[in-house]
Amino acid sequence: MILAILVVLGIYWSSEPDTFDVVAVTAELAPTDTSKITTGSYTTATVIATVETLLNKRGGYLSNDITPPSIWLDNIPNWEFGVLVQARDITRSMRNDFSRSQSQSTEDRDLIIAEPKFNFDHESWILPATESVYQEGIDALYGYLTRLQNPSNPDAQFYARADNLKDWLSQVEKRLGSLSQRLAASVGGIRFNTDLAGETDAVQSTETSQQLTVKTPWYEIDDVFYEARGASWALLHYLKAVELDFEPTLKKKNALVSVHQIIRELESTQQPLWSPMIMNGSGFGLFANHSLVMASYISRANAAVIDLRNLLEQG
């Protein structure tokens, strides 16, 4: 009886959170009416909402649980890690770029606290627990958001410049590229080593083979899939927020359509998964390969990110 209850509870907790409305969340979290929302508030409120979702969704935060049924679950913990990596990247950009006018400017006092809090061990269950540390980071972001919304306190700023956005997108590009490669490796294959391509004098620490066999172990395939799904879920919301905060810059570069294309591809990664397990058929085999489908969407999103970065680099 107890085992049956734990199984049902595990299935219930394994449901991924739905997407949310970035505009509605910002209107709720920002301490003012929507007609006065300041630049940067959409991005900040969205980061808060995504990390709060990690802590408050069904079953709460599962990655550091050591009791049944959480200890038996791995799909949602990997989903949580995918979200967390994206939250870490954007808060780092907020601290180092978005909130600073130039390289010699001082860091924002709340972002100094928030950014390292989200880089705390995601599997710590006691002394301190991960949830309490991440909540401290959320509280710091709330402080930054409140100061952004206060016109009499101009020390909190969010600079929506093309160079700042381009730097964050370079991180996004690397993350998506890595995920698409790991997803595609579900079927394995031999690849040429291109680590030093493009520069004849380039060197590396140790010699590697000219051809590499790349294959994700069968027991990690679903882990990579759900990590990619979580990362895409978070990035989908961040791009919707960035579209609003950087709208004048994107319009000037005629780059809004590129943002829309990235969002569309990421929305496709969130389609309902009807199979009870992640299928790993061969590329043209009889059965589906969910990892290759996900890799396709992420690769197209990454190509659109590269196009967007190129547009932002143009005068």
pLDDT given at position 213 = 61
pLDDT of 251 reads 93
pLDDT at 243: 97
At residue 18, the pLDDT reads: 94
**Parts of the chain with a pLDDT under 70:** 32-35, 103-104, 188-202, 209-214, 315
What's the pTM value of the predicted model, to 2 decimals? 0.92
Q: Tens of pLDDT along 121-171?
A: 999 988 899 999 999 999 999 999 999 988 777 788 999 999 999 999 999
The answer to whether 145 touches 37, Cβ cutoff 8 Å, is no
Q: Give pLDDT, residue 148.
A: 92
Query: Which pLDDT belongs to residue 153?
Result: 76
Domain ranges of the chain: 2-313
Tally: H helices and E strands in the chain: 11, 2
**pLDDT single digits (tens) 199-216:** 666 677 777 766 666 677
CB burial readout 303-312, b (16+ within 10 A) else e: bbbbebbebb
Name every residue whose Cβ is closer than 8 Å to that of residue 149 and which is 6 or more positions away in sequence. Answer: 30, 31, 32, 36, 37, 38, 41
